[in-house]
Amino acid sequence: MKIGLTLNWKAKWHKPLLSPESWQALPQGEAYCNVLTHYFAQWTPKILGYQILKVGALSGEIAFDLPLRHQIVLAEKTAHFPTALLNESDSLLQASPLTLPFIEKEMDACLLANTLNFAQDPHQILREAHRVL
């Protein structure tokens, strides 16, 4: 007897997903954010260029100590974003990650911390990140 199994898996989800507005909204979120911050601390000084784009509120909460670089935090909802995390050289921008409001090849680095996990169309976000890089 032969059993046929058909998988019809798609990356694009048919309904919008609710993205958490902070790491505190996730189980063990603060600890996860701290681990990511410490991990990226060794790599961020090696990034060449001036503009760093952090896509999503979770990416925006990961601290980079880069005083000579412009960090742009892009979030769909900026009302609840803790602006105390921003330096004087940082920018907070409200926009959709599906259509980034930047010209091609404008960014030098892009951080997508858990952004794709909560995205309705993760491939479109990757296409946009690739375009602006």
Q: What is the pLDDT of residue 1?
A: 55
Q: What is the pLDDT of residue 46?
A: 87
Q: What is the pLDDT of residue 3?
A: 62
| DSSP H helices in 1-133 | 29-41, 57-60, 122-132
Q: Tell me the pairing of strands 70-75 and 51-55.
A: parallel
Q: Which domains does the chain show, CATH number per domain?
A: 23-132 (3.40.50.150)
pTM of the shown model: 0.84
Ranges of residues in the chain with a pLDDT under 50 are none
